[in-house]
Amino acid sequence: MDKNIRIAIIGGGPAGLGAGMYLEKKGYENYVIFEKTDHVGGKCHSPTHNGKRYEMGAIMGVPSYYAVHDMEVFGGVTHDGPRLHRTYRLPNGKPDTRFDKKLFNIPHLLKLKKQIKKFGEILETKYKGYDICGHRGVSEGRYEGYAVSEAREPVSGVNPNLKDLALPFKKFVEMNGVPLVSEIWVQPFTSFGYGYFDEIPAAYVLKYLDFQTMMNFVNVNLWTWKDGTQSIYEAVNKKLKNPARLNSAITKIVRGDKVTITVNGKEEVFDKLIITAPLQVGTINNPVAQGLDSYLDVTDEERALFSKIDYERYHTMAYITAPENYPEASFYVVDNMTPETLGHGMVFYMRWGNEPDQPLVSYVLRKHKNPGETVEAYKARPELEYEATKNTVLEDIAQLGIPPIKEGGKDKIIYEFQAYYFPHVFSEDYANGWYEKVEAMQGKNNTYYAGEIMSFGDMDETVEYSHDLVERFF
């Protein structure tokens, strides 16, 4: 492809900045990144309180985040943040000792450890190729992409067992005789807003929490960044030859021989378009997202596929508690990570040890697809209301003994963050080849699709997919 072509990238989050970085590394310098907000990073969002940054979105990484490491190197930053610790509590605030190795129910611990070991072996053998970035070929029983290794060599192969990954994760682990592993995998999955194991295809769970990543999580072998995850993308943006254009309001994109974009009332013409913003069409009940068809000349083929996408109604809330109430570390309320406890706080996270006057951040989900429920019925059913859920979490916080301090007679909430979170499709559409159909559209109408939906909604998978896309098509 001609290195002088003009390329438009929609979105200044990890995927969009990653696309710009990898294009630049290959010699494509005539690109523009359009970001509609006043900052880069997307859901890697790290506001400041008392001179220190805290996290409202992405919290951590692991040593196998090779694409994120590419961005660290490019931006000149490293994972120099505070060491994370975790504890567990019951909803009533008392310690939850089931994951304490010293107090663990020994027979259960031994059974769990045995199943985790078996699961690792199954994934590496029966499901070889499960951890490749992206989903192309999986529903057809094959894999194609980059290996999860520092060398990131391209690999491909045929493995009919991969079709099982379309099953909801709960059915997948039961079918493989390792149901107890859900007790461990649920902690960084459901609590971080990625839905419930009876509704989400196993492919998504295992793209994010491949065995290597999960063991890093279990052993608290984690990366953080002193200035927050957002600092990675701020650093990359500063080093790019064409930093993202912030506050870019795109109102119209028309595709033909060229791509004409109306941004802030003016038309600009490009040769190619890379979309890393949400691909979902129609009305999205979220303050930061809009349907793709609100500005793009969506084709019938795109509409038919992108109407299948759903997302998680997930939000975080940061507040200050009294000095004597700060917990010893961030903690999980595992009993609240179930569909039956939808709307309750699942994690209470603090970044800076037990320093006083730092934000505590709560995490909550507001919708769940019931087993056997059609996608149409699920989408038609209302989600839990945001304000009602917020009040539920405040009640949880009081029960847990870490209530917000009062300011002017009101709870001191310092930040609320609603994101368009974890776009995905459900099992039937996954099994019917949704990803193969979308991948077959890559390049049509001079358009390429990247971002969270194309692999998974964590920062490493989104950046890695941009790497994959650039290597395949540019």
Q: Please state, in angstroms and rounded to a whole number, the distance separating the CA atoms of residues 469 and 259.
A: 19
Residues 206 and 119 in one domain: yes
Q: Out of 99-103, 279-283, 301-305, 313-317, pick the least confident.
A: 99-103
Q: Which residue has the higher pLDDT, 1 or 271?
A: 271
Residues 320 and 459 in one domain: no
Q: Please state, in angstroms and rounded to a whole number, the distance separating the CA atoms of residues 9 and 4.
A: 15
17-59 pLDDT, tens per residue? 999 999 999 999 999 999 999 999 999 999 999 999 999 999 9
Residue that is last in its domain, among 195, 218, 241: 218
Residues 184 and 276 in one domain: no
CA-to-CA dists, residue 454 to 133, 309, 461, angstroms: 9, 11, 9
Residues 329 and 280 in one domain: no
Q: Provide mean pLDDT across the span 277-292.
A: 92
Q: What is the DSSP letter of 294?
A: G
pLDDT of residue 353: 82
CA-to-CA dists, residue 203 to 53, 137, 168, 252, 278, angstroms: 33, 12, 8, 34, 20
| Model pTM score | 0.96
Q: Hey, how many other C-beta atoms are within 10 angstroms of the C-beta on 339?
A: 16
Q: Out of 1-10, 241-250, 297-306, 353-362, pick the least confident.
A: 353-362
57-92 pLDDT, tens per residue? 999 999 999 999 999 999 999 999 999 999 999 999
Question: 206 pLDDT band (50/70/90 cuts)?
Answer: very high
109-123 pLDDT, tens per residue? 889 999 999 999 999
CATH number at residue 302: 3.50.50.60
Residues 433 and 419 in one domain: no
219-230 pLDDT, tens per residue? 999 999 999 999
Instruction: Give me the amino acid identity at 135.
Output: H
Strand order in the sheet with 259-263: 250-255, 259-263, 266-270
Q: Is the pLDDT of residue 184 over 80?
A: yes
Q: Out of 145-154, 252-261, 378-387, pick the least confident.
A: 145-154
Share of the chain above pLDDT 70, in %: 99
Residues 207 and 118 in one domain: yes
Residues 304 and 442 in one domain: yes
Name the domain count of the chain.
Answer: 3
273: containing domain: 7-76+225-309+425-473
Average pLDDT of the chain to the nearest whole number: 95
66-75 vs 459-473: helix crossing angle, rounded to 10: 80
Residues 402 and 449 in one domain: no
Q: Please state, in angstroms and rounded to a whole number, the distance separating the CA atoms of residues 222 and 59.
A: 10
Residues 175 and 233 in one domain: no
Residues 387 and 429 in one domain: no
Question: 375 pLDDT band (50/70/90 cuts)?
Answer: very high
Residues 320 and 263 in one domain: no
Question: 103 pLDDT band (50/70/90 cuts)?
Answer: low
Q: Is the pLDDT of residue 405 over 80?
A: yes
Residue 92 lies in a domain: no
